[in-house]
Structures are given as structure tokens and as C-alpha cells.
């Protein structure tokens, strides 16, 4: 018995090392059932997982059932079977013959009717009953003695606990990864995008006001550089969105829309030489992240238009969440949108609104300036 206990301890250590090292769960389950069958000197060992309806599904097996029985992995046992009762109650069961004992006989599947001695131990913990660990010997073999069943029960409980600990460690690692992704995404958005945006605006202003000695070719190169920066900003925004929401089917909320609006307005203020007025109303934290991305892009393009073309002395920005709508308004007292200026950016603003079921209105004239009103539904 002493050697059996020593082997059980060694097996438990081996399982703990495999599980906590991040080995594949299937490999760990196979290791558990193999060691359990060896310790119990059984011809067949099974690890069964408990389903929501109380049935058990064989997830791993060690030993070969006699023909014509098939591989038991995937076999589903009734919720009324003895193994299911063990998984449910947490109380082990041992019988001399699984096919004749009235406690087990009615629910033995045909794949397991070639066996005699049978023992089942609960797999998991009192709080998390994962299933059952069962062992079988061929018909006519010696039954499992009480000491062996006690050892098997302790082994199953410890193995189940290790799996739960490994599951918790994996969850913590996943949280740590998501936190790091969020930090990188925040740095990309708050630092790199803003610097690129400001640099692009300055280059654009320079390209539009070239010195007498600047060749047209140089101005064209500056314009091309601005386009490349704009493309880079868009690529980074896509990356940030993917990092913050790795599952595209998952709807998440944007916790930093208000802060990023303040940053966009401050950046525009540096380029304008004065600070635009800003009003934020409502709780923008509840705006879905995809919609928040559209709002940021619309605000950036509207402010970019003011910086490049308006010659404004005052600019106001109002963004608010009211009921089921998100509304953005950017107003300036500049000269309006000059003739011959590309309206691609303003078309992009309108396209973004239409994409999410909203609308965009732009009014502009040389006397009153320009007002961009962008409104979308929040669902």
C-alpha cells in the first residue's frame, strides 16, 4: 500500500506540472485517466464530464475494451447511471459486478457490459463537480478493495482541483493579455495617432502655402506625404479597434470617447492658434465602440476642414448622447468651403453616418461659416 501511495503522489505531481504548465487539456485528461487506471490496476479507466442535463460524456479513456466494443471516448451515459449519480452527489460507488449489481446494472451501456468490478469517484471539487473518474476490471477479476477506492477518490479530487486551478491561471493570463492589449491600444491612439494627425495637418498647411522658391513638385510631395499619414492613421485606428475588441461579434462600450474628443479638439486648437469651445452632454461611456470610432473620425475630419480652409476666428464643438441618438455638431465662423476644394473628407463623414443608419447635414456660406451636424442612432 505504501508503494501505491507513493505512486499516487508521483502521479499527482506529474498531473499538476502538466496542467499548470499550460499543456493541452486533452493531454492532461489522458494523463489523469492513464495514471488512475495504473494505480487501480484496472483494465479500463474513463474520465467523464458532466453536462447541463446531468448526463456524462466520456472525454478520455485508457485501456482497450474487448471486441466488438468501440472506443468509449464520446460515449454518453444516462443521468440515471451510477457514474452520473456519483458526479452529482460527490459520493463514490464500488460494486463487484457492474452488470449484475442492482445499483448499476439498469444503465450500463452495451460498450461496457464486458466488465465486472467497477468503481467510480467524483471528479472535481465540492463547489465544482466536473464529472466522474471510473475504473473497470474484466469480468471474473478481483473486486476493488475499499483502500483502493479511497485512494482513487482522493486522486480524482486532487486531479480535478488541479484542472480548476489551471483554468483559473489561464483566465488570469487571458485578462493580463487583454490589459496589455488595452494599454498598447491606448498608447497608439492617445500618443501616436495624435502626433501623426498634428504632423499631417502642419504638412498640409505648408503644402497649401508654399514659398516662392518651393517647386510644384515639392508641394506635390508634401501632399502625398499628408495622404500617407492619413492612411497610416486609419490603419492604426483599425488596429486599435481590433486590439480593444478581438471578438468582432462582441458589442462593447467605449470608455474613452469623451477623453478622445477633448484630445482631438486640443490638437485642432494648437493648429488654429486658439482653443475651440467644447460642450459634452450625456454619458458617452455607453456609446458602442464601433460607433465611437465613427464619431471620432467624423470629428477629426470636420476639424481638419476648419483648420485647412475656414480661416475661422471661433470654432465650437458640441457632442452629446440624448435618448437613442448620438449628435455631433462642429460650427465655425470662417469663409465657408471654398470653391474647387476637394470634398472627399466631408463625403466620408456623410458615408460614416449613413453606414450606421444616421445622417449628416452640412451648411456653408461665406458670411456665416460652416456647420457640420452628424447624428446617428445608438442601439
Q: Where is average pLDDT lowest: 61-70, 131-140, 296-305? A: 61-70
CA–CA–CA angle 64, 129, 172 (5° rounding): 105
Tell me the H-state helices in the chain: 2-20, 25-40, 82-89, 146-187, 194-208, 216-244, 257-272, 289-305, 344-355
Q: Measured between alpha carbons, how far is 227 from 224 in angstroms, rounded to an integer?
A: 5
State the pLDDT confidence band at 95, using cuts at 50, 70 and 90: very high
Which triple of cell numbers denotes residue 258?
A: 469623451
**pTM for the full model?**
0.44
User: What are 161-168's contacts with CB under 8 Å, separation 24+?
Assistant: 161/124, 161/125, 162/12, 162/15, 162/16, 162/19, 162/20, 163/19, 163/25, 163/28, 163/124, 163/130, 164/124, 164/125, 164/128, 164/130, 165/19, 165/20, 166/19, 166/20, 166/22, 166/28
Write the pLDDT tens digit of every residue in 207-243: 555 555 555 666 566 666 666 666 666 666 666 666 5
Domains recognised in the chain with CATH numbers: 2-172 (3.30.450.40), 252-379 (3.30.565.10)
| Sheet order of strands, 369-377 included | 277-281, 315-322, 325-332, 369-377, 359-365
Write the pLDDT tens digit of every residue in 247-272: 544 444 455 788 889 988 888 887 78
Q: Measured between alpha carbons, how far is 267 from 274 in angstroms, rounded to an integer?
A: 10
Amino acid at each position: 500500500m505504501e508503494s501505491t501511495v507513493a505512486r499516487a503522489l508521483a502521479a499527482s505531481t506529474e498531473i499538476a506540472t502538466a496542467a499548470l504548465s499550460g499543456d493541452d487539456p486533452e493531454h492532461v485528461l489522458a494523463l489523469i485517466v492513464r495514471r488512475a487506471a495504473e494505480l487501480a490496476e484496472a483494465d479500463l479507466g474513463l474520465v467523464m464530464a458532466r453536462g447541463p442535463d446531468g448526463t456524462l460524456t466520456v472525454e478520455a479513456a485508457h485501456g482497450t475494451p474487448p471486441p466488438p466494443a468501440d472506443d468509449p471516448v464520446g460515449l454518453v451515459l444516462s443521468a440515471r447511471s451510477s457514474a452520473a449519480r456519483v458526479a452529482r452527489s460527490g459520493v463514490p460507488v464500488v460494486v463487484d459486478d457492474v452488470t449484475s449489481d442492482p445499483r448499476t446494472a439498469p444503465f450500463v451501456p452495451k460498450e461496457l457490459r464486458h466488465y465486472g468490478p467497477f468503481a467510480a469517484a467524483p471528479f472535481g471539487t465540492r463547489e465544482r463537480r466536473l464529472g466522474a473518474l471510473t475504473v473497470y476490471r474484466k469480468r471474473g477479476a478481483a473486486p476493488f478493495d475499499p483502500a483502493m477506492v479511497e485512494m482513487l477518490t482522493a486522486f480524482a479530487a486532487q486531479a480535478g482541483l488541479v484542472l480548476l486551478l489551471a483554468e483559473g491561471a489561464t483566465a488570469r493570463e487571458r485578462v493580463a493579455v487583454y490589459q496589455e492589449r488595452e494599454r498598447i491600444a491606448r498608447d497608439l491612439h492617445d500618443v501616436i495617432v495624435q502626433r501623426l494627425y498634428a504632423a499631417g495637418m502642419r504638412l498640409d498647411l505648408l503644402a497649401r502655402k508654399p514659398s516662392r522658391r518651393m517647386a510644384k513638385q515639392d508641394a506635390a510631395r508634401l501632399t502625398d506625404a499628408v495622404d500617407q499619414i492619413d492612411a497610416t492613421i486609419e490603419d492604426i485606428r483599425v488596429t486599435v479597434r481590433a486590439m480593444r475588441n478581438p471578438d468582432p461579434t462582441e458589442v462593447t462600450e467605449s470608455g474613452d470617447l469623451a477623453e478622445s474628443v477633448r484630445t482631438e479638439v486640443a490638437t485642432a486648437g494648437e493648429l488654429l492658434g486658439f482653443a475651440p469651445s467644447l460642450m459634452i452632454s450625456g454619458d458617452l461611456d455607453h456609446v458602442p465602440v464601433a460607433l465611437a470610432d465613427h464619431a471620432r473620425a467624423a470629428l477629426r475630419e470636420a476639424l481638419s476642414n476648419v483648420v485647412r480652409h475656414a480661416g475661422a476666428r471661433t470654432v465650437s464643438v458640441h457632442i452629446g448622447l440624448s435618448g437613442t441618438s448620438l449628435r455631433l455638431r462642429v460650427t465655425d465662423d470662417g469663409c465657408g468651403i471654398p470653391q474647387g476644394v476637394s470634398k472627399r473628407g466631408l463625403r466620408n463623414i456623410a458615408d460614416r453616418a449613413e453606414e450606421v443608419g444616421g445622417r449628416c447635414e452640412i451648411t456653408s456660406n461665406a458670411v456665416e461659416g460652416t456647420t457640420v451636424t452628424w447624428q446617428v442612432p445608438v442601439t
